[in-house]
Amino acid sequence: MKNIAILGSGGWGIALSLILHKNGHNVKLWSFSEEEKNLINNERRCKYLPDVTIPDGVVSYTSFEEAITGTDIIIVVTPSFAIRETVTKIKDIVTKDQIIVLASKGIEANTLKVYSQVIEEILPDNPISVISGPSHAEEVSKFIPTCVVVSSKSKDLSMDLQDLFMNDIFRVYINNDMIGVELGGALKNIIALAAGICTGLGYGDNTEAALITRGLLEIIRIGKAYGAEDSNTFYGLTGFGDLFVTCGSDNSRNRRCGILIGQGHSVQEAKEMLGGMVVEGITASEAAYELICKYNVEAPIIKEIYKVINFGKSPIEAINDLMSREKKFEF
């Protein structure tokens, strides 16, 4: 039995708390707001997962010190844009023997670092790991069978975390390619925005199949340029698996946001219509575009999404530009 702190009590944080509680571990949550903390502690509910009842053993705090002190493992589940700020705030509370597990996905826009690198910069003495894969909180919280990946620089740590999370409905694999695991999880959100846009425009299965296939190729190109160790990572759970589920599911905020944009709403209107929920593909598009330019990678889909999101380019014009490019071999 381990004592675990989860920093972030949104849908994914709650879903992971349910998995870990099921496995017999003690779980403490850190919530951003008093409202969120009280909803969890007093009503045993999460506003993002209305059908879920949170077990009595899972308790939420708004104090980092109360949430973290005495724990063996700290799981970071905040939105990606808040990771640096959050980890900086806890660095004087964390002890060097506490394991840090990153469960959020993204690339930091100004540094172009994946977030395990950001955490390592702030907490250089702590063991760091990543958990990722096709895992909508809405399904994990209902104990629907799910497969994910853990990755770290230590095989022993990865095996320990595999044991920590794994049970009869939550299967955990190990992948040693941390960079590839993180990039797959971050970049697929951009392709999911594009998939939603195509749906919003009224396009069908042919378009989405082409988009996912060519989008995966762009993810692989960026991954290789960035330093991912194994191209096979992008054909696995955190690459194709996460891409498939995020592009095709109504649970995907990125897809839903894209649908609204394809229907003619502005990016800001789409975000507001989603209730202010974080759409990671929007923030990831800027970092991905910078990576494309830095490494001179051919990634026309991601370039066009960047223009639609950041400069208001018409989605129809973007698709026309993609379809009318010069002739090429597939590979």
What is the pLDDT, as a whole number, of residue 46? 94
What is the pLDDT, as a whole number, of residue 99? 98
328 within domain boundaries: no
CATH number at residue 216: 1.10.1040.10
How many other C-beta atoms are found inside a 10 Å radius of the C-beta of residue 217?
16
Q: Are residues 33 and 167 in the same domain?
A: yes
Residue recorded with tokens 């095989």? 155
Question: Which two tokens mark 41?
Answer: 């502690």
> How many domains does one find in the chain?
2
Beta strands per DSSP E along the chain? 3-7, 26-30, 59-61, 73-76, 99-102, 128-132, 146-152, 170-174
Q: Are residues 201 and 75 in the same domain?
A: no
Q: What is the pLDDT of residues 53-84, one digit of tens each?
A: 999 999 999 999 999 999 999 999 999 999 99
Q: Are residues 248 and 288 in the same domain?
A: yes
What share of the chain in percent tops pLDDT 70?
100
Q: Are residues 158 and 263 in the same domain?
A: no
CA Rg value for the chain:
19
- Confidence band of 275 (pLDDT split at 50, 70, 90): confident
What pTM value is reported for the model? 0.94
Q: Are residues 38 and 142 in the same domain?
A: yes
Distances (CA, A) of 141 to 41, 80, 169, 244, 248: 17, 21, 11, 20, 19
179 within domain boundaries: no
124 within domain boundaries: yes
Is 28 annotated in the active site? no
Q: Are residues 291 and 199 in the same domain?
A: yes
Phi, psi of 54 (to 5 degrees): -85, 130
Residue 119 has pLDDT above 90, yes or no: yes
Residue 312 has pLDDT above 80, yes or no: yes
Q: Are residues 280 and 306 in the same domain?
A: yes
What's the average model confidence in pLDDT over 235-242?
Answer: 96
What average pLDDT does the chain have? Answer: 95
280 within domain boundaries: yes
Q: Are residues 270 and 303 in the same domain?
A: yes
Q: Are residues 196 and 240 in the same domain?
A: yes
Higher pLDDT, 277 or 50: 50
Boundary residue ending a domain (147, 174, 201): 174
What is the pLDDT, as a whole number, of residue 277? 76
Q: Which of 28, 37, 105, 188 is catalytic?
A: 188
CATH number at residue 41: 3.40.50.720
Residue 123 has pLDDT above 90, yes or no: yes
Q: CB under 8 Å to 281, separation ≥6 — which residues?
A: 189, 190, 192, 193, 254, 257, 258, 305
What is the pLDDT, as a whole number, of residue 68? 97
Give the whole-angstrom CA distance, residue 63 versus residue 44.
Answer: 19
What's the average model confidence in pLDDT over 198-208?
Answer: 96
Q: Are residues 95 and 199 in the same domain?
A: no
305 within domain boundaries: yes
148 within domain boundaries: yes
Boundary residue ending a domain (150, 174, 198): 174
Q: What is the pLDDT of residues 81-111, one digit of tens each?
A: 999 999 999 999 999 999 999 999 999 989 9
CB 223, CB 199: distance < 8 Å: no
Residue 276 has pLDDT above 90, yes or no: no
What is the pLDDT, as a whole number, of residue 321? 97
Q: Are residues 223 and 104 in the same domain?
A: no
Residue 153 has pLDDT above 80, yes or no: yes
- Confidence band of 133 (pLDDT split at 50, 70, 90): very high
180 within domain boundaries: no
Give the DSSP letter string of 251-291.
T-HHHHHHHHHHTT--HHHHHHHTTT---HHHHHHHHHHHH
Q: Are residues 14 and 127 in the same domain?
A: yes
What is the pLDDT, as a whole number, of residue 325? 95
Residue 250 has pLDDT above 90, yes or no: no
Boundary residue ending a domain (174, 206, 227): 174
For residue 281, give its domain range.
186-323
135 within domain boundaries: yes
